[in-house]
Amino acid sequence: NPVPPFDLVIFGAGGDLALRKLFPALAQRNQEGVLPEESRVLAIVRKAEDVEGLPNQIATRLKEEGLAPEQIAAFLRRLTMVLLDALKPETYASLKKALGKSERVRSFYLSTPPDLFIPICENLAKADILTPTSRVILEKPLGRDLASAREINDAVGRILPESRTYRIDHYLGKETVQNLLVLRFANTLFERSWSSRDIDNVQITVAETVGLESRAGYYDKSGHMRDMVQNHLMQLLCLFAIEPPNMLEAGAVRDEKIKVLKALRPIVGPDVQRYTVRGQYGPGQIDGQRVRGYTDELGRASNTETFVAVRCEVDNWRWAGVPIYLRTGKRMAQRYSEIAVTFKPVPHSIFGGTSACDRLDANRLVIRLQPNDGLQLQLMMKVPGSGRLKIVPRQLDLRYETAFNERTPDAYERLLTDVIRGDQTLFMHRDEVEQAWAWVDPIISGWQEYAPHPQRYAAGTWGPSHAVGLIEREGRSWADPD
């Protein structure tokens, strides 16, 4: 269904995210007829040469995405280039002029570093560009700690109400992440066993093979905890662990997520050393290619972490005693993200002494986010045959690509149209962001004292040996992909 007519203003339009994700997502939606004819995308650039240059770059990018020339042209017709310096209020007149007197809903996507969020919102207000229906979209990272996140939320909140502030975490737009709620709350089978009664442990892994890419300036200052854990992994954890909201509605879902974050047991002081591991990749091999270590890529020494593992616990009635292990890193052996749920073993084996199998493996449900999105459920099965009873683990395997004919949209396609429709369900409330920082901050500061130097791991492996120790000392092991 088409969205209501809109004007979408993108700050940071020449940046990596806009080119890689935002323009392709919008062009895709345009191609599918979701963007009404009169809607416009206004791209803010700071340099005069980008006014000419950026549309060409966008066209090249859309071509790479496989869009036909007429589709690319149709998208470029919607594009208005606006020259403006975000920090100079006097330059906002150009945007005001470009927007004109249109009645369309205005959304402002701040695809910029967080230190520009406050000045941009203030300058938009000063220039009288915001209307009573205008929305602002804030890209992550939202600050670099609780104090800076609060400062941003307070300042933006003085200009736009929470109901028109959209804090994006693109993981919430991924199909498989949205399916988490459906899996739990539309299937009796899972919801009934979704607690410490039946679950032994949960592992959330987000592994990437890419390294620093061209983001040294941002990434080295942030580190992996701020870049991935504070947002993506904690959002996955929340959706995994929430209590059933009474309906699928922004307020209800967000309230439940906040409760999970509040129930996360703090990791402070010496516990930081016990329950967390920070690593940094050295040289190694990925897909048969030699790759450089982090500091070689960076060109200088650095103690920034590119890998994090954490053992956490949600202290509430449902989850007491169930360890939730988080693990995420750059330059790991394989790109894959999943939530692996290991159930408790059966209370008694009737097969003991029959030599049918060495042991009964516990059931394991793997929710695979990417690649090969889908679900796998490991069950114990009898090997067919009339001879001696033999029992082995086998998988029920449901893949999105074979189970559905529909194309899986990119997360940003979904999220951008949700903003235009005014649906905040898949966006973060300020309390979620702040609560997540409140949990992450003591770990980051604890590292100064307890883990000032990250553990080395070779690129192309599953992280430092300490991460293996973190889980193996509890008699468990990481569920690496087959």
Binding residues for substrate: 170, 174, 208, 227, 330
Query: Which one, of 32, 33, 44, lies nearest residue 7 by Cα?
Result: 44
Binding site feature residues? 46, 140, 170, 174, 208, 227, 330
From the candidates 232, 348, 429, 466, which is the catalytic residue? 232
Strands 79-83 and 455-458, how do they pair? Answer: unpaired
The CB-based long-range contact list for 346-352 (8 Å cut-off, 24+ gap) reads: 351/389, 351/391
User: What residues does 442 pair with on adjacent strands?
Assistant: none
Residue 37 phi, psi (nearest 5): -50, -45
Binding site feature residues for NADP(+)? 46, 140
Question: In terms of CB distance, is 331 or 364 closer to ligand BG6?
Answer: 331
What dihedral angle (degrees, nearest 10) is formed by the CA atoms of 5, 9, 13, 17?
A: -70
Site membership for ligand BG6, residue 413 (CB under 6 A): no
Residue number with the shortest CB distance to ligand BG6?
227
Q: How far is the CB of 141 from ligand BG6 (least distance, A)?
A: 8
Question: In terms of CB distance, is 201 or 205 closer to ligand BG6?
Answer: 205
Site membership for ligand BG6, residue 227 (CB under 6 A): yes
The secondary element (H helix, E strand) that includes residue 199 is: strand 199-207
Q: Which of 7, 208, 297, 432 binds ligand BG6 (CB under 6 A)?
A: 208
Question: In terms of CB distance, is 7 or 227 closer to ligand BG6?
Answer: 227
Q: How far is the CB of 312 from ligand BG6 (least distance, A)?
A: 20
Question: In terms of CB distance, is 75 or 171 closer to ligand BG6?
Answer: 171
Respond yes or no on whether the N-terminal peptide bond of residue 371 is cis (omega within 30° of 0): yes
Query: Is residue 348 among the annotated active site residues?
Result: no
Report yes or no: 38 and 104 within 8 Å, Cβ to Cβ.
yes
Report yes or no: 46 and 112 within 8 Å, Cβ to Cβ.
no
**What residues from 131 to 170 belong to the interface with ligand BG6 (CB under 6 A)?**
none
The secondary element (H helix, E strand) that includes residue 109 is: strand 105-110
Q: How far is the CB of 390 from ligand BG6 (least distance, A)?
A: 40
DSSP 172-194: GGSHHHHHHHHHHHS-HHHHTT-
CB atoms within 10 A of CB 36: 14
Question: In terms of CB distance, is 106 or 170 closer to ligand BG6?
Answer: 170
Question: In terms of CB distance, is 310 or 314 closer to ligand BG6?
Answer: 310
Site membership for ligand BG6, residue 338 (CB under 6 A): no
* Cα–Cα distance measured from residue 373 to residue 370, given in angstroms and rounded to the nearest whole number: 5
Show Cβ contacts of residue 186 under 8 Å, excluding neighbours closer than 6 positions.
Answer: none
The secondary element (H helix, E strand) that includes residue 282 is: strand 276-282
* Cα–Cα distance measured from residue 139 to residue 415, given in angstroms and rounded to the nearest whole number: 12
Cα 6 versus chain centre, distance: 26
Return residues touching ligand BG6 (CB under 6 A).
208, 227
Query: What positions carry a catalytic annotation?
Result: 232
